[in-house]
Structure 1
Amino acid sequence: MARARSRLSAGTVVLDCEGLAKWCEADLRVTALVREAQDNDFRVVVSAMTPIEAQDVSVKSDRLRWYLSRLKIEPVTEGIASRAIELLRGVGLHGHKYAIDAVVAATALGSVRPVVVLTSDEDDLSKLCGKAVKVVAV
């Protein structure tokens, strides 16, 4: 029997720091979104910057490593860095405060579509990604 199609179809889900942290904490909503994505052949990814930002002494490193092993960590390439700079310039934001958000946005914009970003920075990521990416607040 064929699997019923849900709201998601093959594409990419990008977790920002809060998305990753909530997944590691077994947040019910984020866990359900990640599970649905995986069940529907979405790639679940983070930027290589995200685990660094998510590092917190309250999260055991073994737990973080286990969750990271279940997704794709996208490198911060020269192309991603250049795109992040363009995005920051395009919306008038400073890299000192918004660098990681810009890298997450550039990663999302370079991913297989449709793309969903799970984030606590809904306003910032929406500015940086525009309408090409669905931004979901977590």
Structure 2
Amino acid sequence: MARRKLSHEGTLVLDSEGLSKLLSDDESVVALVAEARRRGMEAVICALTVIEAVHARTDRARLRWILSGLRIAPVGEEEVKAASALLMDAGLHGHKYAIDAAVAAIAVKQKRPVVMLTSDVDDMTKLCGDRVRLVAV
């Protein structure tokens, strides 16, 4: 399998699928996160991503270990307003896209360049535009 290249420095953002695959020890996601760290990129997730990705079969010890190596970005008033603006600009409705919009709002304000590991490239493109490089996982 060919390795995908990531930029030096900047930020790596994981959406729910990125976190889920990291939790399940998916080889390609583990390799991307390791390469990002090697290149000096900070690994970040939106606080809501943890809620979205966790389920009854989640290995809690592994979750704690994985989260200890990530910066969990909180979702406060500023992020809520930014997410709402992204939704309106993209013509999307909050009910279906609320968490994606929060993740996008967190991503666009990170240190550039920003790379996001996501399974939802289409929706994240609508929300992030060209401000975030999307990598399908």
Instruction: Give the TM-score taking structure 2 as reference length.
Output: 0.94
**Aligned-partner SS, 1:84:** helix
**Aligned-partner SS, 2:102:** helix
Decide whether aligned partners of structure 1 residues 93 and 7 sit closer, same or farther in structure 2, where only a CA change above 3 A counts: closer
The residue that corresponds to 1:27 in the other structure is 26
Provide the rounded CA distance (Å) in 2 between the counterparts of 1:131 and 1:16: 17
Cα drift, residue 7 of structure 1: 4.0
Identity %: 52
Provide the rounded CA distance (Å) in 2 between the counterparts of 1:7 and 1:45: 15
Q: Which amino acid aligns with 1:125?
A: M
**Structure 1 unmatched runs, 5+:** 1-5
Runs of 4+ in 1 over 2 A off after TM superposition: none
The residue that corresponds to 1:94 in the other structure is 93
Which digits, 9 at most, give the CA deviation of each residue in 1:64-105, with x for residues without a partner?
Answer: 111011110001021111000000000111101000000000
**Aligned-partner SS, 2:129:** helix
CA contact (8 A) 2:9 2:41 kept: yes
CA contact (8 A) 2:6 2:36 kept: no
The residue that corresponds to 2:135 in the other structure is 136
Q: Which amino acid aligns with 2:51?
A: I
The residue that corresponds to 1:79 in the other structure is 78
Provide the rounded CA distance (Å) in 1 between the counterparts of 2:75 and 2:38: 27
Instruction: Give the TM-score taking structure 1 as reference length.
Output: 0.94
**Aligned-partner SS, 2:69:** coil
**Aligned-partner SS, 2:130:** helix
Provide the rounded CA distance (Å) in 2 between the counterparts of 1:29 and 1:61: 22
1:95-114, aligned counterparts within 5 Å?
95-114=94-113
**Aligned-partner SS, 1:64:** helix
**Structure 2 unmatched runs, 5+:** none
The residue that corresponds to 2:42 in the other structure is 43
Q: Which amino acid aligns with 2:33?
A: V
**Aligned-partner SS, 1:136:** strand
The residue that corresponds to 2:13 in the other structure is 14
Cα drift, residue 62 of structure 1: 1.4
* Further displaced range: 92-101 or 54-63: 54-63
CA contact (8 A) 1:8 1:36 kept: no
**Aligned-partner SS, 1:13:** strand
Superposed CA RMSD in Å reads: 0.9
The residue that corresponds to 1:3 in the other structure is none
Q: Which amino acid aligns with 1:66?
A: W
